[in-house]
């Protein structure tokens, strides 16, 4: 029913969409987002913009709305009616609005059908009835309506929002995105991305746009940094002292002889290994897959993978890099060579793994060789947690996309939406000869999440921080990998739930046994577990690699991956 109604409405709304011309003002020093056509008349329009907020007052909402409108009216003849909603209530509020409009359309269709039926029945009885006029396309004004303000100046009057109008809003999850597409609540944007909004492709990392394209692009993701690096640090002085080749020390496993050598010498103030290390980017599969709890099924996401790379789970006892790392940690801990991850004054470490963005290396690069241990990983939350969509009930797709493009390409608008009205909530200042912003006392009345208000790289990272502070985040985006389990619904079904529950319990037992196993017995433990995986009934069912068990973790993942990312022919 939703799809039938919404298809009708979308066709109607598209038929009356304004074809906008170029803006009256073109003096912006920022990027100019082009209007719909050069020839068409530009008329005043009002659009709605709904956003979640961490905190706001009514006064702040009004002040920010005024500051936004000062920009959008001057540039695009478009007024914005900003509606802020507490974050916890946001999704329900959006869905209630969509439902409200849908119900109204359904009632009007039913009433129209009832009237048509009554007319038909009256005619059959021979009665004279007045025919209803045929519906015609809405005729939009060709010039702006004006009013005279209190100063006697003639100004443009911007129209009120339509009763069934709902324009720009934020999609906040993958499930929500797919639900809105399936129910035709949001409009496809590919035509705009290839035309008047093509500028977005140069401002948003291509992986974001690739992931937004699910048989069409229906929302614009807000570009932002993802994840963290893990860096391997190897002490330069100790490498020289113990005569190792630094070019060969490229992983924790390849550093094991060096770590043991340093440890065996019991040097004062030297920690052989900074803290316990795990194999990078391990993903464990099971009944609690969304929590990524340890299980016997797992796989390593490598530094070269993307979201479409297959990463089929298997027995972790067959993942050599993982088991070898576990064994090495046991050996080093038993020898007392593993620190607690901290360094006291006067101490140094031979090898360590630290997390952070590229700026963290500044404190280490003089004393340590630095190598990437694991790259930043884009998750489903990164990809789908903040995307601007245009409702199927929008007054104008093209005008809505102008505003979305403006938010992703213009610092002035972007900063107002994030931090509030200049001179009220914030103002410009300088820190160490760089432009920054200073938050004013009233900034406490307007709090927005940085990733919810557009491309983060187009505004300031925070108070007292220059735009150049984003350089590290941009590098991370260029170097990032993507979680191959993104969008994966999980392996659990009604048919395999009991088997996966038994598997989860069995995994807990094995994890406890693995943790307790001493290093000297660990190879025997792995050999025994490889045999158990082949013979233990619950493991054979869940970890079936041959496709004989249709509800195994392996089969479910493989079928999902091949369906979503078909192999190249």
Q: What is the pLDDT of residue 566?
A: 85
Q: What is the pLDDT of residue 18?
A: 30
Task: List the beta bridge partners of residue 287.
Answer: none
> 376, 228 in Cβ contact below 8 A?
yes
Q: What is the pLDDT of residue 125?
A: 82
Here the tokens at position 126 are 């021979």
Residue partners of 488: CB distance under 8 A and separation at least 6: 289, 557, 560
> 200, 220 in Cβ contact below 8 A?
yes
Q: pLDDT (tens digit, 0 to 9) for every residue of the chain, 569 residues total?
A: 444 444 444 443 333 333 233 333 333 334 444 444 333 468 999 999 999 999 999 999 999 999 999 999 999 999 999 999 999 999 999 999 999 999 999 998 888 888 888 888 887 888 777 766 665 555 556 666 766 666 666 667 899 999 999 999 999 999 999 999 999 999 999 999 999 999 999 999 999 999 999 989 999 999 999 999 999 999 999 999 999 999 999 999 999 999 999 999 999 999 999 999 999 999 999 888 877 899 999 999 999 999 999 999 999 999 999 999 999 999 999 999 999 999 999 999 999 999 999 999 999 999 999 999 999 999 999 999 999 999 999 999 999 999 999 999 999 999 999 999 999 999 999 888 889 999 999 999 999 999 999 999 999 999 999 999 999 999 999 999 999 999 999 999 898 899 999 999 999 999 999 999 999 999 999 999 999 998 888 888 899 877 778 889 999 999 999 999 987 65
CA distance 155 to 144: 9
Q: What is the pLDDT of residue 24?
A: 32
Ordered DSSP codes for 457-526? GGS-SSTT--GGGGHHHHHHHHH-EE-TTTT---S--TTTHHHHHHHHHHHHHHHHHHHHS-GGGHHHHH
Query: Closest by alpha carbon to 420, among 386, 463, 467?
Result: 463
CA distance 356 to 229: 5
> 249, 368 in Cβ contact below 8 A?
no
CA distance 336 to 272: 9
Q: Is 407 left (phi over 0), alpha (psi -120 to 50) or beta?
A: alpha
Q: What is the CA radius of gyration of the chain?
A: 30
3-state secondary structure of 437: strand
3-state secondary structure of 375: coil
**2-21+43-224+383-475 architecture in CATH?**
3-Layer(aba) Sandwich (3.40)
Q: What is the pLDDT of residue 17?
A: 35
Here the tokens at position 217 are 């692009």
Q: Which residue has the tokens 């030297």?
A: 270
Q: Which residue has the tokens 């492709």?
A: 201
Task: Indicate if the alpha-carbon torsion angle 532, 298, 214, 418 is positive or negative.
Answer: positive
- Around Cβ 16, how many Cβ atoms within 10 Å? 12
Q: What is the pLDDT of residue 21?
A: 31
CA distances from 7 to 48, 380, 389 (A): 21, 29, 17
CA distance 168 to 401: 9
Buried b / exposed e along 330-366 (16+ C-beta atoms within 10 A): bbbeeeebbbeeeeeeeebbbbbbbeebbebbeebee
Q: What is the pLDDT of residue 337?
A: 98
∠ Cα 361 365 366 (to 5°): 145
> 101, 166 in Cβ contact below 8 A?
yes
Give the pTM.
0.86
Here the tokens at position 169 are 């809003």
Domain coordinates in residue numbering, the chain: 2-21+43-224+383-475, 229-279+319-375
Q: What is the pLDDT of residue 129?
A: 74
Q: Is 187 left (phi over 0), alpha (psi -120 to 50) or beta?
A: beta
Query: Closest by alpha carbon to 41, among 22, 25, 56, 55?
Result: 22
Q: Is 356 left (phi over 0), alpha (psi -120 to 50) or beta?
A: left
Residue partners of 560: CB distance under 8 A and separation at least 6: 488, 489
């Amino acid at each position: 029913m939703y799809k039938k109604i919404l298809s009708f409405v979308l066709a109607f709304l598209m038929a009356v969409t304004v074809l906008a011309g170029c803006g009256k003002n073109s003096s912006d020093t920022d990027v100019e987002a082009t209007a719909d056509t050069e020839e068409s008349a530009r008329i005043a329009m009002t659009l709605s913009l709904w956003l979640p907020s961490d905190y706001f007052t009514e006064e702040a909402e009004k002040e920010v709305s005024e500051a936004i409108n000062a920009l959008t009216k001057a540039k695009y003849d478009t007024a914005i009616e900003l509606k802020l909603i507490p974050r916890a209530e946001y999704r329900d509020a959006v869905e209630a609005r969509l439902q409200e409009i849908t119900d109204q359309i359904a009632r009007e269709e039913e009433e129209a059908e009832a009237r048509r039926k009554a007319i038909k029945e009256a005619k059959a009885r021979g009665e004279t009835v007045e025919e209803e006029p045929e519906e015609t396309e809405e005729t939009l004004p060709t010039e702006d309506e004006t009013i005279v303000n209190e100063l006697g100046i003639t100004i443009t009057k911007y129209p009120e929002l339509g009763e069934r109008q709902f324009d720009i809003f934020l999609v906040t999850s993958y499930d929500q995105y797919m639900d809105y597409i399936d129910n035709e609540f949001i409009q496809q944007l590919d035509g705009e991305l290839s035309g008047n909004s093509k500028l977005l492709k140069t401002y948003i990392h291509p992986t974001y746009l690739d992931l937004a394209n699910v048989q069409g692009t229906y929302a614009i993701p807000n570009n932002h940094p993802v994840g963290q690096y893990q860096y391997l640090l190897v002490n330069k002085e100790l490498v020289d002292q113990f005569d190792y080749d630094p070019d060969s020390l490229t992983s924790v496993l390849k550093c094991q002889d060096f770590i043991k050598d340093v440890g065996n010498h019991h040097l004062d103030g030297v920690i052989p290994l900074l803290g316990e290390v795990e194999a990078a980017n391990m993903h464990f599969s099971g009944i609690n897959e969304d929590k990524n709890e340890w299980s016997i099924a797992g796989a390593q996401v490598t530094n070269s993978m993307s979201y479409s790379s297959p990463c089929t789970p298997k027995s972790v006892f067959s993942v050599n890099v993982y088991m070898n790392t576990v064994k090495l940690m046991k050996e080093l801990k038993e020898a007392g060579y593993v620190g607690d991850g901290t360094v006291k004054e006067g101490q140094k470490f031979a090898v360590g793994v630290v997390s952070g963005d590229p700026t963290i290396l500044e404190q280490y690069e003089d004393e340590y060789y630095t190598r990437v241990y694991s790259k930043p990983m884009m998750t489903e939350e990164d990809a789908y947690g903040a995307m601007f969509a245009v409702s199927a009930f929008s007054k104008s797709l093209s005008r809505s996309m102008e505003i979305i493009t403006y938010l992703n390409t213009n610092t002035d608008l972007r900063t107002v939406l994030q931090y509030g009205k200049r001179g009220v909530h914030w103002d410009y200042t300088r820190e160490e000869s760089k432009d920054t912003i200073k938050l004013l006392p009233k900034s406490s009345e307007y709090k927005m999440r940085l990733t919810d208000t557009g491309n983060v790289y187009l505004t300031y990272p925070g108070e007292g921080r220059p735009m150049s502070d984003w350089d590290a985040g941009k590098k991370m985006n260029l170097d990032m990998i993507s979680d191959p389990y993104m969008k994966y619904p999980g392996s659990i079904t009604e048919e395999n739930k009991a088997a996966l529950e038994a598997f989860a319990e069995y995994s807990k037992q094995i994890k406890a046994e693995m943790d307790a196993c001493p290093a000297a017995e660990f190879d025997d433990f792995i050999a025994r577990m490889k045999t158990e995986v082949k013979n233990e009934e619950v493991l054979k069912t869940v970890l079936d690699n041959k496709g004989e068990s249709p509800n195994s973790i392996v089969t479910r993942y493989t079928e999902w991956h091949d369906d979503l990312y078909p192999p190249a022919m």
